[in-house]
């Protein structure tokens, strides 16, 4: 058994992170742990429709949920899609906030407002825009219902394809009243006024959490990291975790703790659960 919460294979490198981890494991019933889906709970794949959870992650979440006040997923995907692909309905009491918080899945039900009209405009014009921009073979469009994303991971030169599309996609988003969300070889056009930071903060306030952990891997997770910093300033200890990759380094630079991708996150969750159990909390 670890002699302290910060011992073991993974430990925060910042004082704030260590304080948050200590608060979480010593009072787990008042803690909230939230996770991005793709790249964090599930490895990144060429086609997101083929996504599957990292082996062991559902079991690790289930074990942690039995000890923690709230376990949540905050994702850019539709909430029901993340639940289906991840088998997340196996985790008791989990809350899944989809479309950056515009949707909420819990107890088998999805609650969501109607998407703004700009999404329909983008849906109508995006295919011809991608074609007229000279996007290379392997570029494809994902329709998420409330947003649309252009993926270049399957192109011969994914980064060059993304650079080629950046300006025309930004212009279309501006015309539609949407925002551009860059990611790991993807650009998403989505509604204004929702992000993972706002979603996380609202859930923390709803659950009256006294400590918070957020884990992510991509640029869209940085608003949640910023929300953790704001919560710290309000007296709620917070820990940010990066599921690392070679594609995005900025997230690791901003994190209190870096783990080696989804596999490393499984080890971290197992360690947290064992530490909580060992402390008898």
Question: Catalytic residues, which ones?
Answer: 36
DSSP secondary structure of 119-154: HHHHHHHHHHHHHHTTPPTT-EEEE-SS-EEEE-TT
Helices (H) and strands (E) in the chain, counts: 9, 12
Instruction: Compute, in degrees rounded to 10, the torsion defined by CA atoms 109, 114, 118, 123.
Output: 50
Q: Do residues 174 and 155 touch, judged by C-beta distance below 8 A?
A: no
Residues 6+ apart with CB under 8 A from 168: 129, 133
d(CA 249, CA 95): 28
Q: What φ, ψ does residue 182 adopt, rounded to 5°?
A: -75, 150
Strands 140-143 and 148-151: antiparallel
């Amino acid at each position: 058994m670890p002699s302290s919460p910060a011992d073991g294979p993974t430990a925060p490198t910042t004082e704030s992170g260590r304080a948050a981890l200590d608060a979480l494991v010593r009072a787990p019933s008042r803690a909230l742990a939230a996770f991005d889906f793709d790249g964090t709970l599930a490895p990144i794949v060429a086609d997101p429709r083929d996504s599957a959870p990292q082996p062991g992650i559902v079991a690790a979440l289930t074990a942690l949920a039995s000890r923690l006040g709230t376990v949540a997923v905050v994702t850019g995907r539709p909430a029901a899609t993340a639940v289906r692909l991840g088998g997340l309905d196996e985790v008791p009491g989990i809350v899944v906030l989809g479309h950056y918080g515009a949707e909420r899945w819990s107890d088998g039900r999805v609650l969501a407002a109607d998407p703004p009209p700009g999404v329909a405009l983008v849906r109508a014009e995006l295919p011809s825009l991608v074609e007229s921009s000279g996007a290379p073979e392997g570029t494809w469009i994902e329709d998420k219902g409330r947003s649309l994303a252009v993926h270049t991971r399957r192109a011969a030169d994914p980064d060059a394809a993304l650079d080629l599309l950046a300006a025309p996609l930004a212009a279309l988003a501006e015309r539609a009243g949407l925002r551009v969300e860059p990611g790991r070889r993807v650009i998403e056009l989505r509604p204004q006024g929702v992000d993972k930071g706002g979603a996380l903060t609202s859930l923390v306030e709803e659950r009256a959490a006294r400590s918070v952990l957020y884990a992510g891997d991509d640029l869209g997770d940085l608003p949640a990291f910023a929300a953790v910093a704001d919560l710290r300033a309000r007296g709620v200890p917070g820990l940010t975790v990066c599921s690392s990759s070679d594609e995005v380094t900025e997230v690791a630079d901003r994190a209190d703790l870096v783990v080696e991708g989804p596999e490393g996150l499984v080890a971290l969750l197992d360690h947290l659960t064992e530490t909580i159990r060992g402390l008898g909390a």
